[in-house]
Amino acid sequence: MAPGNKQHKLKYHLEKALIEGVRYIATFGGPYSNHIDAFVKRTVELGLQPIVVVRGEVQPSLTDTLRTAVCNGAILYPCSRQDYKRGLDSDVKRQVDSDFNTIYWIPEGGSGPLGVKGCQDWAEGILNNNGSGGEPWDMVCLASGTGTTAAGFLSSSNVSQLAVFSALKGTKNLELDIRSQALVDTSGKHLLTFDECYHGGFGKFSPELFAFLCDVYSLNPTLKLDPVYTGKMLYQVQQLITDGRWPYRRTLFIHTGGLQGWRGVAKHHWPFDSIDY
């Protein structure tokens, strides 16, 4: 199983890999990546051999995310940050291609039109069934990294207003980024974008965030949020409400998963005793 948005981003890529009949399937990811976690679980379930190009040196004591990947049968390739940036053009990709024959490659995070399409389906499913008591939502909120998931939601005929909360600090052109990945013309749709301006940037944590997540969990013991994406999104909306800058009454938050990301955080900061992911 691979909960969260990554399985939706992977859906059509995996379908294509199976149609092509490959045995090897490869992708890129960071050492704490939710994408790697979902990618390895899903590909192994389908009988494929996963190969993962890991950003930065691979430490001999693997992160929990990478250890799980190896235990599930993944082959890891370390990659310098510089080469990693070149993605499907990198030297390491050429190396992997020469070590194995016929590999299906998935871009980092499962992005690209196939990833967007899987998220569009997901959005259709969520927004078909769940009105807010039959009334339309005033705003749909979604956390983002590459913007692929947001592009899928914005491409759904059921979404006409979307607020996107980037997990990255100082994102420029996020709106354009998302609109340009969309599968349909989104110019008539209302898209709000925010960057991560409270906790120091991607994967960074603050005492305020931890305190907030403990409060949220104690008030909602059935709701576990992740520390990198959904937790920060809720924190930011809470700030907007406090500042009087959130005029929307019926707000829908999309839970994109990512609980395994807590494995990159010291346990004494966890709001809960355990995570199921």
Ligand X SMILES: *Cc1c(COP(=O)(O)O)cnc(C)c1O
Rg (CA), the chain: 19
Nearer to ligand X, 84 or 229 (CB): 229
Identify residues 123-152 at the interface with ligand X (CB under 6 A): 143-150
CB of 60 to ligand X, least distance (A): 26
> Which one, 125 or 131, has the nearer CB to ligand X?
125
CB 109 within 8 A of CB 3: no
CB of 252 to ligand X, least distance (A): 15
Q: Name the closest residue to ligand X (Cβ).
A: 258
CB of 147 to ligand X, least distance (A): 5
Our CB check for ligand X shows the closer of 50 and 258 to be 258
Contact call for residue 257 and ligand X (CB under 6 A): yes
Q: Exposed, middle or buried, 212 (CB in 10 Å: 0-12/13-18/19+)? A: buried
Give the pairing of strands 251-253 and 190-194: unpaired
Taking CB under 6 A as the rule, does residue 4 contact ligand X? yes
How many binding residues for ligand X (CB under 6 A)? 19
User: Could you say which of 24, 27, 29, 34 contacts ligand X (CB under 6 A)?
Assistant: 34
Angstrom distance (rounded) from CA 273 to CA 268: 9
**Closer CB to ligand X, 24 or 153, in the complex:** 153
**CB 135, min distance to ligand X, A:** 27
The single residue among 29, 30, 109, 271 that binds ligand X, judged by CB under 6 A, is: 109
- Residue 235's closest CA among 171, 148, 147, 165? 165
Q: What's the CA gap between 257 and 228, in Å, rounded?
A: 10
Q: Which of residues 22 and 36 has its CB atom nearest to ligand X in the complex?
A: 36
Per rule CB under 6 A, is residue 256 in the interface with ligand X?
yes
CB 265 within 8 A of CB 227: yes
| Closer to ligand X by Cβ: residue 149 or 155 | 149
State which of positions 212-251 bind ligand X (CB under 6 A).
Answer: 226, 229-230
How many residues comprise the chain?
Answer: 277
Cα–Cα dist 179/216, whole Å:
32
Contacts of 261 (CB under 8 A, 6+ apart): 32, 34, 226, 227, 228, 229
Name the residue type at position 159: V
**Residue number with CB closer to ligand X (85 or 94):** 85
Chain residues that interact with ligand X, rule: CB under 6 A:
4-6, 34, 109, 143-150, 226, 229-230, 256-258
